Amino acid sequence: MERKNILIVIAIIGMVIISVINLTLPRNSPPLPELRNRVEVIASNLVVPWAIDVIDGKVFFTERIGNLKVIENGTIKTIYSSKVAEIGEGGMLGLALDPEFTINNYIYVYYTYVEEGELWNRVVRLAKVNDTYHESLILIDKIPGAVIHNGGRIKFGPDGMLYITTGDANKPELAQDLNSLAGKILRIHKNGSIPTDNPFNSPIYSYGHRNPQGIAWHPITKELYESEHGEVANDEINLIIAGKNYGWPIEECSVNKYEEPLFCYQVAVAPSGMAFYNNDLYIATLRGAHVERFTMENERSEFIAGVGRIRDVVIDGDYMYIATSNKDGRGSPNTDDDKILKISLR
């Protein structure tokens, strides 16, 4: 049997097992009472939306099956599709609009693909032609991929650089290998070149990560925060410092040799996309099935729940956008899943 087919069979078996387990998990309580009149479903019947970005009222999002779509004036339109390797946790993942999007219309996506039986990830630039997009530039390629642990979040930082989270591709030792792009946070210019102030003269910004799923910058300090899945619980919220080692697979939730997380979850919530609103960090959780409010004093509270697994959270002005992930093989989808919700924060 070809390697690609073997990977698909392994992924299907794994997802079935996890789905059976998760069917026994109760759906969280309805949205908090004070939010019920401020939540609007702006898209439904989606197929595993993975990342959201917003500009001028337009909501762009990826679907893991290989689509890039936009919601504009209440209408959903597909503006790019690609034959990606939607195997396990792979597929069309991260999304970022260019900081000068209103001028150049560039969009960047992170996706999984198969080459000669091997799974890889890459980041590409999409350029607009008429009303659709095509791939115009590969920024970074041959990021190790696997059925699990592909990372995949991409965002532009306040410094104008593109930051990319990569998983360990189910090979934990790669997270400590500075010759591998796996298990890292990468930092590059938007043309794919390497910034001269990167710590290792390579795209690598930090390392020792298992499966980082979210990044966000504090609006005042401009410090970089990251969410990461642990092996069994031990999910982490980290403050990311250039050149630092975050310990995986030697340690999790380090308190000794490696960078100590800001917070370590003793019960798995599978934190994913992140965004700041004022001084608070909002974190989408998959297994936790809620958006969590995390203060800089390490106080935690549930902000919204009741819609199942949540993959991404984005804040634009006084509005929060969240994407559910109930069709990802690990949830219990309702008939109109998956959804993108818009929530007024005022």
Which residues participate in catalysis according to the annotation? Answer: 149
Q: How far, in Å, CA of 290 to CA of 283, rounded?
A: 8
Q: What is the CA radius of gyration of the chain?
A: 19
- The pair of structure tokens assigned to 211 is 């499966």
Q: How far, in Å, CA of 170 to CA of 180, rounded?
A: 13
Distance from the first to the final alpha carbon of the chain: 56
How are strands ordered across the β-sheet holding 58-63?
49-55, 58-63, 67-72, 75-81
Q: How far, in Å, CA of 224 to CA of 157, rounded?
A: 8
Q: How far, in Å, CA of 329 to CA of 231, rounded?
A: 19
- The pair of structure tokens assigned to 322 is 């969240």
For residue 4, count other CB atoms closer than 10 A to its CB.
16
Which of 331, 332, 319, 329 lies closest to 340 in space, CA to CA? 319
| Contact yes or no for 216/261 (Cβ under 8 A) | no
Q: How far, in Å, CA of 54 to CA of 56, rounded?
A: 7
Q: Is 237 exposed, middle or buried (0-12, 13-18, 19+ CB in 10 A)?
A: buried
Q: How far, in Å, CA of 89 to CA of 148, rounded?
A: 5
Q: How far, in Å, CA of 306 to CA of 313, rounded?
A: 15
